[in-house]
Amino acid sequence: MNNRLEHLLEFHRDDPQDAFTRYAIALEYNARKEYTEATTWFESLRSDNPEYVPTYYMLAGVYRASDNPDKAREIYHAGLQAAKKAGDTHAFAELSAALEELDEE
């Protein structure tokens, strides 16, 4: 385990509900191409904090990397709803573009 992941896991132990720390842990696993771990962390975060919009883009990307386009599509659509509800036009545009790209593959 690398130092950054160790530190993030320590932060998580100190505050297990902190959405940013959980997101960062999932990103770290994703960067290491440990997609099962990344998926577990992202899905848990999405379940507990459905309003945390960045999760959707990254989680869908993990599903794409894991060769699961149908699940990625489902997550993009859920993310579009979350971004719209949050009024996050930037995230909405990014999710829309990613979904369009996926549909063209």
* pLDDT over 80 (residue 85): yes
pLDDT attached to residue 56: 98
CATH of 3-104, one of 1.25.40.10, 3.10.20.30, 3.30.565.10, 1.10.1740.10: 1.25.40.10
pLDDT attached to residue 62: 97
pLDDT attached to residue 90: 97
Pair of tokens at residue 11: 């932060």
AA letter at 9: L
The predicted-structure confidence for 43-72, as pLDDT tens digits, reads as follows 999 999 999 999 999 999 999 999 999 999
Q: Where are the domains of the chain?
A: 3-104
Predicted confidence band at 1 (pLDDT cuts at 50, 70, 90)?
low
The predicted-structure confidence for 4-27, as pLDDT tens digits, reads as follows 999 999 999 999 999 999 999 999
Q: What is the pTM of this model?
A: 0.91
